[in-house]
Amino acid sequence: MSELRYLLFLGCVIPYRISSYEISARKVLDKLGVELVEMPEFNCCGFPMDPVKHDLMLTLAARNLCLAEQQNLNIMALCNGCFGILNHVNKELKEDKKLKEKVNGYLKEIGMEFKGTITVKHLIHVLAQDVGFEKIKETVQKPLNQLRVAQHTGCHVVRPGKIVGFDDPENPSTLKKLIAVTGAECLDYMDEMECCGNPISGINSEIPLQLAREKLDHVRAVGAQALITVCPFCHMMYDLNQSRIERTFNEKFRIPVLHYPQLLGLAMGFSPDELALKQLRVDASKILTEVIAQR
Amino acid sequence: MSKNKETKGKETEKEMMVKLSDIDPKFKYEISKLPGAENVLLCFQCGTCTADCPIARFSDFYRPRKLIRMVQLGLKNKLLSNDVIWLCSTCFTCIDHCPQDVGIASIVRALRNLTVEGGTMPVVYKELASNILKTGYTYIISGLRLKKREDQGLPPLPKANLESVAKLFDVTGFSKTLEKERT
């Protein structure tokens, strides 16, 4: 397998609502010499079906893994949820013979078989481990030295720690280091690992808004000019829902929420339009003016 | 003041009272056979899960420790008719922090699966399941969106193999559950 070639697993949330993440990710990955291969076929990663039928989740995930095995390519996911479930199922099926037999029994019905020959990565693993900080640094032409941001790594890219085995799930540093490479300062704030709450939005509309409000409150308290995410589902909570949070709690945040590739892209010298910054719900032009003024 | 307190205390006590007839003594063993729930008997009620749960902080009802105790006691019917089990956001903090390696979020998942098998599924999951069956994607992605992708220079979305997806719904037994829901 060529080192910087991956099967891109887009997932559902990105094409449904958050194209800006895909557009910016493709731009920066291309610049870094990462080759993306499109999925030949697709179905949902399985995550949304785990609460209703565990075996259905397993087989939906396994089918995607089989598609990657057929291409002899590792998967790269942009979404924490897709990464979490595909990686979890991949590791479980590789380690648990009985489970593999069971799932392969289901897959036989559609003429597929899980073999266990590939690995699953998230965008930030690819950037930090495979591309490497040095190489990313070389592509940074317009460091964002005056910008002060905060990061939200999200849950499934580090938890459960035993399964993911990457970074410290209590106090992850990968995204912080990736932000530092862009020249921006990454500020610490309270409860950085707090969940966005979005997975229960369909069940309860209040609790996720309360969680997101608290996050934005903590981010604002340290004076961050933007929040940086690496998951479309978390991004929805903080960007798409920010005005709703403001209305509900009678607050004013106006904190732009950028996908990490948008931040990196700006540091690489891409224009805001090339990185689809206009698609963000919370206006990012204030920080862009500052960024561009420095150039 | 003290009277009020007493009354309150009594109410709580009444609420918490468990009748022997409500108990399914084998329920904990049933649960402990499900994936990720193997250590349910090891919970010693320390409360780390509830203390660290982001949902418990904002909910008056969701208490993972209580759910695990209810499993141990065998309060099957109470658990499987309880909306509260749908509040876990699957952040997995409880799994990472549990000193006894009790897969709390997985046990909640098992309770949800059993509830669905029993014929009760939240509307949102019915919608998502039906979207996946119809399109392969969890959400219906409109033609307008697809056109916009093209305009933005993005490659076409990968197509779903709906025949395979439907087959997986069938062989895992989920199609039947969905049908039951419809009738």
Q: At what angle do helices A54-71 and B104-117 cross, to 10 degrees?
A: 110
Å between A213 CA and nearest CA of chain B: 12
Please name the residues between 78 and 117 in chain B that touch chain A, using a CB distance below 8 Å: 86-93, 95-96, 109-110, 112-113, 116
A226 sits in which H/E element: strand A226-229
pLDDT of A2? 47
Q: Per the domain annotation, does B79 fall within a domain?
A: yes
Q: Which residues contact B83 (CB under 8 A, 6 or more apart)?
A: none
Which residue out of B92, B109, B161 would a mutagenesis test of the A interface target, given it has the greatest number of A Cβ atoms within 10 Å?
A: B92
Q: Which residues of B touch A13 (CB under 8 A)?
A: 138-139
Sheet holding A35-38, edge to edge: A35-38, A5-9, A74-77, A120-122
Strands (E), A108-191: 120-122, 148-152, 185-186
Give the residue from B25, B33, B77, B50 showing the smallest Cα distance to A54. Answer: B33
Same domain, B100 and B137: no
- Asked whether residue B113 falls in the same domain as residue B143, the answer is no
Q: Is the pLDDT of residue B3 over 80?
A: no
Please name the residue of chain A whose CA is at the shortest distance from the CA of residue B60: A207
With bands split at pLDDT 50, 70 and 90, how would you rate the model's confidence at B181? confident
CB-nearest partner of A194 from B54, B86, B138: B54
- Identify whether residues B28 and B88 lie together within a single domain: yes
Q: How many angstroms away from the CA of A199 is the closest CA of chain B?
A: 5
Instruction: Tell me: pLDDT of A295 over 80.
Output: no
Q: How far is CA A114 from CA A109, B35, B101, B173, B174, in A?
A: 13, 19, 28, 20, 21
Which one of B95, B117, B139 terminates a domain? B117
- The predicted-structure confidence for A166-206, as pLDDT tens digits, reads as follows 999 999 999 999 999 999 999 999 999 999 999 999 999 99
Of all residues in chain A, the percent with pLDDT exceeding 90 is 96
In a domain, B7, yes or no: no
Residue B4 clears pLDDT 70, i.e. is over it? no
Tell me which residue in A26, A44, A208 faces B136 most closely, judged by beta carbons: A44
Domain spans of chain A, in order of start: 5-123, 133-294
Query: B81 in a domain, yes or no?
Result: yes
Does some domain include residue B1?
Answer: no
CB A159 within 8 A of CB B93: yes
Structure confidence by residue, pLDDT tens digits, B35-76:
999 999 999 999 999 999 999 999 999 999 999 999 999 999
Partner-chain contact B157 A15, CB within 8 Å: yes
A&B contacts, CB < 8 Å: 172
Q: Determine the residue type at B159.
A: K
Q: Do B87 and A155 touch (CB under 8 A)?
A: no
Instruction: Enumerate the β-bridge partners of residue A35.
Output: A5
- CB of B58 within 8 Å of a chain A CB? The answer is yes
Q: Using one digit for the tens of pLDDT, what is the confidence trace for B87-131? A: 999 999 999 999 999 999 999 999 999 999 999 999 999 999 999
Gap between the Cα atoms of A29 and A130, Å rounded: 12
Contact between A41 and B137 using a beta-carbon 8 Å cutoff: no
Position A32 scores a pLDDT of 98
Rounded to the nearest angstrom, the minimum Cα separation between B25 and chain A is 24
For the CA atoms of B70, B74, B79, B85, what is the dihedral angle to 10 degrees?
50
Q: What does the pLDDT look like over A202-242, one tens digit per residue?
A: 999 999 999 999 999 999 999 999 999 999 999 999 999 99
Residue A48 has pLDDT above 80, yes or no: yes
> What per-residue confidence (pLDDT) applies to B8?
43
Residue type, B68: I
Tokens 């291969």 identify what position?
A: A37
Mean model confidence pLDDT for chain A: 96
* pLDDT score at A291: 74
Domain boundary among B93, B117, B141: B117
Six-digit token string for A158: 């580090």
Any A CB within 8 A of B166 CB? no
Residue B11 has pLDDT above 70, yes or no: no
Cβ atoms of A76 and B150 closer than 8 Å: no
Q: Roughly what angle, to the nearest 10 degrees, separates helices A260-268 and A19-31?
A: 40
Residue A3's pLDDT is what?
82
> Is 70 exceeded by the pLDDT of residue A271?
yes
> How many structural domains comprise chain B?
2
End-to-end CA distance of chain A: 39
B39 and B90 in a single domain? The answer is yes
Based on the fold, state whether residues B111 and B134 are members of the same structural domain: no
Pick from A41, A50, A197: CB nearest B158: A41
Q: Let me know whether B65 and B90 are in one domain.
A: yes
Give the confidence band of B9 by pLDDT, cuts at 50, 70, 90.
Answer: very low
To the nearest whole Å, the CA of A29 is away from the closest chain B CA by 14
Q: Is A195 left (phi over 0), alpha (psi -120 to 50) or beta?
A: beta
Residue B149 has pLDDT above 80, yes or no: yes
Contact check, Cβ <8 Å, B90/A155: yes
Q: Are residues B97 and B147 in the same domain?
A: no
Q: Where are the alpha helices (DSSP H) in chain B?
A: 2-16, 27-32, 48-52, 54-58, 64-73, 76-80, 93-97, 104-117, 123-135, 143-151, 162-171, 174-182
Res B183: pLDDT? 64
B155 near A CB under 8 A: yes
Give the integer Cα–Cα distance in Å for B142 and B65: 42
Query: Considering the domain A133-294 in this protein, what is its CATH number?
Result: 3.40.50.11810
Of B125, B49, B122, B54, nearest in space to A209 by CA: B54
Residue to test with chain A: of B138, B139, B145, B170, most A Cβ within 10 A: B138
Contacts of B128 in chain A (CB under 8 A): 48-49, 202
* A15–B121 CB contact, under 8 Å: no
> Which residues form the domain of B76?
24-117
pLDDT at residue A287 in the model: 85
- Residues of chain A found within 8 Å of residue B129, distances taken between Cβ atoms: 49, 52
Sheet holding A226-229, edge to edge: A185-186, A148-152, A226-229, A257-259
Q: Span A5-123: which CATH code?
A: 1.20.1050.140
In-domain check, residue B19: no
Evaluate if residue A11 carries a pLDDT over 90: yes
Instruction: Please check whether residue B14 lies inside any domain of the structure.
Output: no
Whether pLDDT at A264 is above 50: yes
| Cis upstream peptide for A160 (omega within 30°) | yes
**Average pLDDT of the residues in A24-38:** 98
Task: Based on the fold, state whether residues B62 and B132 are members of the same structural domain.
Answer: no
Distance from B173 to chain A by nearest Cα, in Å?
Answer: 8
